Structure 1
Amino acid sequence: MSAYTIEKREKGYLLFTITRSEKRNAINYEVMKGLEEAINRASESDIRALIITGEEDHAFCSGGDLSVFHLLHTKEEAYSMLSKMAAILYSLLTLPIPTVALINGTVVGGGCELAVSCDFRLARKGIKAGFVQGKQAITTGWGGGSILTEKLPTAIAMKLLMEAELHTAEELKEAGFIDGLFEKEAIQVCEAYLEKMLEKDLSVLQSYKRLWIRKWEENKLRERIEEEVKNCALLWESDAHHDYVKTFMKKRL
């Protein structure tokens, strides 16, 4: 059974869905591969937007799948995985069309890094979200922290990262992380949100998106993400992080 689906919709967008609801839509290597495929397909001339969501409504994405990644012990092993996902998220961030994280359920850790890499974030009312990596004795390691510094005011971004707490969608909308809220019919709400954009010529959308891509290039965002990856890899091999993973895995048994 595939870990993801990719659908081209009539309205001219691509829908990527993580289909690992039994794992709270956690990201493993197959999901990474799927994201790469979706990003490549979203570059086709008849695609005007990319929407990313999770299967069912319990979780949008619970971050990296520790049942897979707990096998990574050294900073070198961690760096290999972290840098791969960081490259994928940077490609998503700089995709020259609008992108939307359709947050239909709880989103934590690396799931928030996936969400912040999208241009827009729409969330179901009542869900909770948080950059909780600090509780795992690591930092964001897929570039999400660096991307967050580009998208939110300093004090807000710093508080979200350093406190490592869960927040309601309503709180995150007030903070500027969430752009819109919905109660049901997520796809229809998202289509309505994108309606005016999907009507525009693709070259117009691409030209505007490049304004931000150029800004991120001038701010050396890619280089800053690389530093973030290296720092997280160092923390990954720490005793504190391995102790957290061991405790987490015991709870899963």
Structure 2
Amino acid sequence: MEQSTNFLIDIPNHTAYLTINRPAKLNALNRATLVELSSILQRLKDDKQVRGIILTGAGDKAFVAGADIAEFRDLSEDDARELAAWGHREVMDVLYNFPKPVIAAINGFALGGGLELALACHIRVANDTAKMGLPEVSLGLIPGYGGTQRLPQLVGRGKALEMMLTGEMISAADALQWGLVNYVVAQEELLSTCEQLLKKIYAKSSTAAAAAISAVNIGLAKPEDGYQAEIHAFGAAFSTADFEEGVSAFLEKRKPNF
């Protein structure tokens, strides 16, 4: 187990367990935490031993309860734009486009920037007491780390606007029904459920997984480019070692060794 200023990092086998470790602040995302997260993500991206990430929060109350609002007080309009642009570029978009699967294990409140962090992950699993919301309107703000774009992709325009315009939290059960999370489980099953999902993914081709993530993201961002991205990635797969192994294993009636 490795401990940095705001994170606990544990990498047994091929999974990086990344825990935001600010329980006294309900794991709120201040600038220092985001800077640290950006650096950790780059390191995990380059680590060939790491095949996936489980991202969660320390303690039993919150995944991430939001941004650190105290840091907002003295920001100018230009400062705020730069903060949002930096957060998109260095953290949220990095997670969203990460070439290895990232699962958010939502162990409590996921509000504001915390929910946006979970939205940037590929898969979300919540415990049954989790609460999720985008309460920025209560501060005279709107989400600034991708919430206005990524939430409608998951739950649709109507439900997304309901959450953003009322600022109210929703339950884990509603989040599951709306498509915001993939699974809702008891707290004691939260990490094991994430682990089982990654186990299934690890049994498949990592190069194909990265290509699928990329093609899906391109199609969501630019629908007119999505099919061409798929065609290109499909063709490129034929020159990979994983394709050779996968087809050989299929024809030889054995499990592939990716």
What TM-score do you get using the length of structure 2 for normalisation? 0.79
Distance, in Å, in 2 between the alignment partners of 1:77 and 1:135 is 20
Counterpart for residue 37 of structure 2: 35
Counterpart for residue 6 of structure 1: 9
Secondary structure at the aligned position of 2:184 is classed as strand
Counterpart for residue 136 of structure 2: 133
Report if the CA contact (8 A) 2:20-2:57 is conserved: yes
Counterpart for residue 247 of structure 1: none
Larger RCO (CA under 8 A, 6+ residues apart):
1
Find the partner of 1:192 among 190, 193, 196.
196
Secondary structure at the aligned position of 1:39 is classed as helix
Report if the CA contact (8 A) 2:155-2:179 is conserved: yes
Which amino acid in structure 2 is aligned with residue 67 of structure 1? Answer: A
Counterpart for residue 225 of structure 1: none
Distance, in Å, in 1 between the alignment partners of 2:97 and 2:36 is 17
Which amino acid in structure 2 is aligned with residue 33 of structure 1? Answer: V
Distance, in Å, in 1 between the alignment partners of 2:98 and 2:63 is 21
With 28-37 and 130-139 compared, the bigger mean Cα shift is at: 28-37
Report if the CA contact (8 A) 2:110-2:131 is conserved: yes
Deviations, residues 178-224 of structure 1 (Å, cap 9, x unaligned): 1111213332221012220022231121121122122144259xxxx
Find the partner of 1:82 among 81, 84, 93.
84
Deviations, residues 42-93 of structure 1 (Å, cap 9, x unaligned): 3232222122110011111011112233232x10121222211121201110
List structure 1 runs of 4+ shifted beyond 4 angstroms.
Answer: none
Report if the CA contact (8 A) 1:113-1:145 is conserved: no
Which amino acid in structure 2 is aligned with residue 130 of structure 1? Answer: G
Larger radius of gyration: 2
The number of residues matched between the two structures is 218
Find the partner of 2:222 among 209, 218, 232.
218
Sequence identity, in percent? 25
Name the CA shift for 1:216/1:9 in 2 (closer, same or farther; >3 Å).
farther
Secondary structure at the aligned position of 2:29 is classed as coil
Distance, in Å, in 1 between the alignment partners of 2:79 and 2:183 is 38
Distance, in Å, in 1 between the alignment partners of 2:99 and 2:87 is 19
Distance, in Å, in 2 between the alignment partners of 1:161 and 1:69 is 19
- Superposed, which structure 2 residues align to 1:93-172 within 5 Å? 93-172=96-175
Deviations, residues 12-33 of structure 1 (Å, cap 9, x unaligned): 1222211000001000122112
Q: Which runs of 5+ in 1 are unaligned?
A: 221-253
Cα shift at 1:137:
1.0
Secondary structure at the aligned position of 2:194 is classed as helix
Secondary structure at the aligned position of 1:42 is classed as helix
Distance, in Å, in 1 between the alignment partners of 2:203 and 2:74 is 47
Which amino acid in structure 1 is aligned with residue 197 of structure 2? Answer: Y
Q: Which runs of 5+ in 2 are unaligned?
A: 225-258
With 193-202 and 119-128 compared, the bigger mean Cα shift is at: 193-202
1:22 paired to 2:24: yes
With 60-69 and 130-139 compared, the bigger mean Cα shift is at: 60-69
Deviations, residues 82-123 of structure 1 (Å, cap 9, x unaligned): 211121201110112211111011111111111111111111
- Superposed, which structure 2 residues align to 1:232-251 within 5 Å? none
Report if the CA contact (8 A) 1:6-1:38 is conserved: no
